[in-house]
């Protein structure tokens, strides 16, 4: 199975530019973080995945949500100060969408039962700056791992994609208009080996998933579409080094922009052009007053004005080694990334 998957990737992916050297990871400029969050309370492998809510009325008051997969989920401000904590055992990946009327729905993959996947739902109280639990809902057999949301353009229906640890991807419809949320599994897709990171482009209805040791895939996000996966980039040890972990989007125009991937194996982040999935550059985080990142799991990126420190957007990355403190999340200005890579 692995040999066949690799062959498919090699045949179907965009070629790597000729300038890429053979025999090692491509050099990546180092970009300084502007801030970091308070460390999580849990030791060892704990902090995992962030989500970003942009306060359109007051961008500097925007919020970052981050999971501690041992005990719960945090809300931070743009200085990295922890504002609140909601206990919830074994949450892994997290995503959010702002619904009509300004209601913010937060969903996380729930691994409390490793034999049966669940989705944990919250609303974000943007005034009190805390998460309000809405419940946890079964998805299907298996261990929940990755999680991302999609708002369908034509009717604003909310869907989630739960990536199971064995590579299965269960798509769920999330109903939140009634007094009690309802979650129903509407279809399943499958990759060959362990996968986790995912993100959906709401503009195009495209789901992107990272199969950790193999590469990146895309699916049509609509539940009526075929479940066929299209390979778009491979783990090659040069531009993308296993494990391929978190995914984030930098949309531009109607269909353009960039897909950003955590190249965990060499502590870097790789960008691909969404228009044709060609390699666009890579970078590392470090070199400033805030320490750098390593072994990053989850990432998130939101474009727009986030105040003077993040005038064009905010990139957030989990830091797998924040010694001597426990793990946390680092904040980087998107403007710095654009300048360093000449995007």
> How crowded is the C-beta side of 212, counted as CA atoms within 13 Å?
19
List C-alpha distances in Å: 40 to 267, 287, 298, 329: 20, 23, 15, 9
With bands split at pLDDT 50, 70 and 90, how would you rate the model's confidence at 16? Answer: very low
Provide the token pair at 179: 């007094």
* Mean pLDDT computed over 99-127: 96
Average pLDDT, the chain: 92
What pLDDT does residue 89 have?
83
Q: What's the start-to-end Cα distance of the chain, in Å? A: 37
Question: Is the pTM of the predicted complex or chain greater than 0.85?
Answer: yes
List C-alpha distances in Å: 143 to 11, 23, 111, 166, 174: 31, 36, 6, 8, 19
Higher pLDDT, 25 or 15: 25
Measure the CA dihedral 72/77/78/80, to 10°: -60
β-pair partners for 94 = 108
CATH superfamily of the domain spanning 2-15+34-341: TolB, C-terminal domain (2.120.10.30)
Please confirm whether the linkage preceding 265 is cis (ω < 30° from 0).
Answer: no
Higher pLDDT, 4 or 330: 330
> How crowded is the C-beta side of 54, counted as CA atoms within 13 Å?
17
* Dihedral (CA of 127, 128, 130, 134) sign: negative
List C-alpha distances in Å: 260 to 31, 171, 189, 317: 15, 22, 22, 11
Q: Is the pLDDT of residue 14 over 70?
A: no
- Domain assignments of the chain as residue spans, ordered by start: 2-15+34-341
What pLDDT does residue 3 have?
36
With bands split at pLDDT 50, 70 and 90, how would you rate the model's confidence at 12? Answer: very low
Q: Is the pLDDT of residue 244 over 50?
A: yes
Higher pLDDT, 237 or 13: 237
State the CB neighbour count (10 A cutoff) for residue 120.
28
DSSP state of 327: P
Long-range contacts of 334-339 (CB under 8 A, 24+ apart): 334/250, 334/301, 334/303, 334/310, 335/310, 335/311, 336/31, 336/32, 337/31, 337/283, 338/312
Q: Is the pLDDT of residue 316 over 70?
A: yes
């Amino acid at each position: 199975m692995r040999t066949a998957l690799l062959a498919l990737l090699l045949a179907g992916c965009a070629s790597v530019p000729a300038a890429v050297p053979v025999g090692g990871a491509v050099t990546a400029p180092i970009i300084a973080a502007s801030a970091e969050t308070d460390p999580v309370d849990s030791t060892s492998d704990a902090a995992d995945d962030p989500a970003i809510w942009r306060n359109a009325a007051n961008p500097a008051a925007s919020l970052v949500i981050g999971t501690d997969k041992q005990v719960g989920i945090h809300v931070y401000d743009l200085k990295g100060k922890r504002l609140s904590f909601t206990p919830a055992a074994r949450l892994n990946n997290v995503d959010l969408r702002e619904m009509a009327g300004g209601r913010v729905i937060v969903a996380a993959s729930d691994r409390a039962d490793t034999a049966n996947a669940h989705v944990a739902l919250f609303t974000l109280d943007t005034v009190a700056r805390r998460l309000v639990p809405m419940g946890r809902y079964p998805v299907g057999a298996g261990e929940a791992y990755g999680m991302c949301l999609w708002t369908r353009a034509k009717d604003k229906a909310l869907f989630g994609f739960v990536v199971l640890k064995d590579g299965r991807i269960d798509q769920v419809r999330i109903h939140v208009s009634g007094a009690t949320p309802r979650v129903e599994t509407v279809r399943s897709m499958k990759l060959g080996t362990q996968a986790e990171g995912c993100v959906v482009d709401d503009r195009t209805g495209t789901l992107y998933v990272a199969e950790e040791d193999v590469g990146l895939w895309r699916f049509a996000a609509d539940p009526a579409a075929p479940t066929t996966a299209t390979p778009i980039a491979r783990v090659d040890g040069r531009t993308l080094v296993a494990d391929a972990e978190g995914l984030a989007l930098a949309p531009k125009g109607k269909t353009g922009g960039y897909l950003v991937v955590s190249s965990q194996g060499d502590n870097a982040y790789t960008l691909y052009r969404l228009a044709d999935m060609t390699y666009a550059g890579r970078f590392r985080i470090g070199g400033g007053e805030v320490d750098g990142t390593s072994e990053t799991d989850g990432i998130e990126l939101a474009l727009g004005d986030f105040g003077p420190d993040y005038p064009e957007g905010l990139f957030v990355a989990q830091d797998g080694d924040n010694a001597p403190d426990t793990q946390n999340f680092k904040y980087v200005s998107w403007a710095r990334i654009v300048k360093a890579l000449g995007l």
